[in-house]
């Protein structure tokens, strides 16, 4: 997971004082291999409220960077936590950069895994494939029907309006995926004359 520029705290647990606590109800949370970056103003990386019934809160192998404080309330540093600037390349890739693991976070997670989100390839039947996810599947059809690109921030040739996360896909994949410009097939059962 990657959390960027959240308004207050990356992880907050609170309880409304107007409600009576149920001692039989508890919350358990584990957060690992996540990047929490640049929480705004007085933000806290992890904050656990003292008034809520926690079964457990485990935080391990996360990167916390750019917050006023990293831990508050009952939260404390977990195993393998790091505090480095991830240096997401938003100047090149736009907000799509947050869907790539920057070199500063590669191999820094649990058992040498990466820290942060990576949303670059498609899953099929629960298995990660080598098929690029971007441009978004059916990009051309979505553009044709809405007028907006769901992949590119500033649109692309054939779709003037932007709305997606990426400034460019150059350098994201070994070669830039080609946008499918095949017109959509009519729905099954529809007679087209």
Average pLDDT for residues 171-190, to the nearest whole number? Answer: 60
Higher pLDDT, 31 or 179: 31
Domain-by-domain residue ranges, the chain?
Answer: 2-119, 135-188
Average pLDDT over residues 18-46: 74
Concatenating the DSSP letter of every residue in 68-136 gives SEEEEET----TT-B-------HHHHBGGGGGS--GGGTT-SGGG---S----EEEETTEEEEEE--SP
Residue 74 scores a pLDDT above 60: yes
- State yes or no: pLDDT of 158 exceeds 90: no
pLDDT in tens, 112-123: 999 999 999 998
Give me the percent of the chain exceeding a pLDDT of 90.
43
The whole-model pTM stands at: 0.77
Which residue reads 């995926």 in tokens? 177
Span 71-90, average pLDDT: 90
- Least Cα distance to 60 among 74, 35, 78 occurs for 78
- Collapsing DSSP to helix, strand or coil, 167 comes out as coil
Distance CA 76, CA 117 (A): 23
Q: Could you tell me the sign of the dihedral formed by the alpha carbons of 33, 85, 72, 16, in that order?
A: negative
């Amino acid at each position: 997971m990657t959390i960027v520029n959240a308004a207050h705290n990356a992880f907050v647990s609170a309880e409304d004082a107007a409600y009576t606590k149920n001692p039989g109800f508890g919350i358990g949370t584990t957060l690992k291999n996540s990047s929490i970056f640049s929480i705004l103003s007085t933000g806290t990386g992890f904050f656990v409220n003292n008034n809520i019934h926690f079964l457990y809160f485990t935080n391990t192998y996360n990167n916390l960077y750019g917050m006023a404080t990293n831990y508050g309330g009952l939260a404390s540093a977990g195993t393998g936590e790091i505090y480095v600037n991830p240096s997401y390349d938003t100047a090149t890739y736009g907000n799509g950069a947050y869907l790539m693991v920057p070199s500063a976070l590669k191999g820094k997670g649990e058992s040498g895994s990466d820290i942060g989100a990576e949303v670059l390839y498609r899953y099929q039947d629960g298995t990660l494939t080598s098929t690029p996810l971007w441009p978004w599947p059916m990009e051309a059809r979505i553009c044709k029907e809405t007028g907006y690109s769901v992949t590119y921030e500033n649109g692309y040739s054939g779709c003037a309006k932007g709305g997606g996360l990426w400034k460019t896909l150059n350098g994201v994949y070994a070669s830039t995926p080609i946008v499918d410009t095949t017109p959509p097939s009519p729905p099954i059962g529809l007679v087209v004359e």
